[in-house]
Chain A
Amino acid sequence: MTTEALNRRAVVSTLLNNRDDLLVVTGLGSPAYDVMAAGDHDQNYYLWAAMGSAAMIGLGIATAQPRRKVLVITGDGEMLMGTGSLATIAVKKPDNLTIAILDNGHYGETGMQLSHAGQGIELHRIAEACGFDSTLAISQMSDVESLRDRIYSEPGLRFATIKVDPANQPRVLPPRDGVHVKNRFRHSLGFGTI
């Protein structure tokens, strides 16, 4: 018996349900559209380039804002491009950071070519080898729900690979004005512009 692959939009909506004061970073492409589809928010930072940087931006926010919880939502391809950052993050070991990978095993934005994750590379095991407090491979919605609850209720450095259906969803485009999104995010935390 096979379980039905998770719908990425439902996964992201679940993670962001009653998001409270969660700070969110997205990788470029589908994860940004998924987070936007769940509702634009001043405390979202969407990437449109700099592939491989989402996790490090999350580390920077988590370090500068140690009392806030930070969630990075990105794809397997984006995380693969910044795999070394898992070592950097594990050495720094913030207790307020979760990296959630929407793993469809493909490069969805460029024509659905198989990614390394789609050919057997298990990203959460790389995070585990680096020493993350908690590493998960998730394929059921009930586990997404319990991850969501732990993000909000328990400190820790977490990494979760969430297996999702590779089908592309309709694009819901976040703002492309990086200066606007940056200043909006900072303003929501009480910081001004130059």
Chain B
Amino acid sequence: MPKTQTQPHSGAPAEDQSSWQEQIYPILKSSGIKHIAYVPDAGHAKSIESACADPEMQSVVLTTEEEGLGYLAGAWLGGDRGALLLQSSGVGNCINTLALQACARFPLLMLVTMRGDWAEFNPWQNPMGQQTEKVLNMMGVLTWRADQPEQVAPLLKGAATMAFDGDTACALILGQQLIGAKEWVQ
């Protein structure tokens, strides 16, 4: 198995693993989202693949995560909703730029896949991973955390409501217990 593959958390049936990933994109679409900005991550692979294959969706691959904050603010100025898909490490790249959302009250919907959170093999992920949610909260972003597959859909719907109906910066944290530990041994 390639290193980018993940395995389900202990005890979860394989179909549960795929189902939460398959639930995300239809919820984004039904929330009226027309733009997906992303930095690639294995945990977001299904959503990225769906966005890139959807002619109605503007997919934007970023060189660094804070580009997505500017992009989505611009899309909102132009009348559209969007979401940012990123990994926990990328939250660190966004800190200063989050002033845009705080000062202009731009809606923001982030989906953050976690590293350095649980069962992490690479300790270099831990410093950012252990502070990701706190940093978001400190910058005024509301957060919800999904560690079980059944939590993903309701938490995402709720975050989208608060983002776009409330001009609020919101992040759904997709924990490593949900995503599965990254497999390093071939």
Q: How far is the CA of A117 from the CA of B35 in the complex (A)?
A: 33
Assess whether A60 is in contact with B79, with CB atoms less than 8 Å apart: no
Assess whether A178 is in contact with B103, with CB atoms less than 8 Å apart: yes
Give 8 closest A-B pairs by Cβ, nearest first.
A60-B74, A64-B78, A178-B104, A56-B70, A84-B63, A53-B70, A57-B74, A60-B75
Q: How far is the CA of A48 from the CA of B103 in the complex (A)?
A: 9
Assess whether B75 is in contact with A63, with CB atoms less than 8 Å apart: yes
Q: How far is the CA of A55 from the CA of B35 in the complex (A)?
A: 17
| Sampled A-B contacts (8; CB under 8 Å) | A49-B99, A53-B100, A57-B71, A60-B74, A64-B74, A64-B77, A65-B79, A189-B78
Contacts of A53 in B (CB 8 A): 66-67, 69-70, 73, 97, 100
Given contacts A50-B70, A57-B70, contact A65 B60 (CB under 8 A): no
**Stretch of A4-12, A105-113, A145-153, A180-188 that contacts chain B:** A180-188
Given contacts A60-B71, A88-B63, contact A49 B100 (CB under 8 A): yes
Q: How far is the CA of A194 from the CA of B82 in the complex (A)?
A: 16
Interface centre among A48, A49, A92, A186 (most CB of B within 10 A): A49
Interface secondary structure of A, over-half rule? helix
Check if B147 is an interface residue, CB within 8 A of chain A. no
Given contacts A60-B78, A178-B100, 19 further A-B contacts (CB under 8 A): A23-B78, A48-B103, A49-B99, A50-B97, A52-B70, A53-B73, A57-B71, A57-B73, A59-B60, A60-B73, A61-B78, A62-B78, A63-B75, A64-B76, A65-B78, A82-B70, A182-B76, A190-B79, A194-B166
Binary flags per residue of A140-184, CB closer than 8 Å to B gives 1, else 0: 000000000000000000000000000000000000001101100
Residue of A nearest to B58 (CB): A63
Given contacts A57-B74, A63-B58, contact A85 B105 (CB under 8 A): no
Q: How far is the CA of A91 from the CA of B71 in the complex (A)?
A: 14
Q: How far is the CA of A54 from the CA of B105 in the complex (A)?
A: 17
Assess whether A59 is in contact with B71, with CB atoms less than 8 Å apart: yes
Q: How far is the CA of A189 from the CA of B110 in the complex (A)?
A: 26
Interface, chain B (partner A; CB < 8 A): 34-35, 58, 60-64, 66-80, 82, 96-97, 99-100, 103-106, 165-167
Interface centre among B60, B67, B106 (most CB of A within 10 A): B67
Check if A75 is an interface residue, CB within 8 A of chain B. no
Of residues 42 through 98 on chain A, the ones whose CB sits less than 8 Å from some CB of chain B are: 45, 47-65, 68, 82, 84-85, 87-88, 91-92
Contacts of B167 in A (CB 8 A): 194
Contacts of B75 in A (CB 8 A): 60-61, 63-64
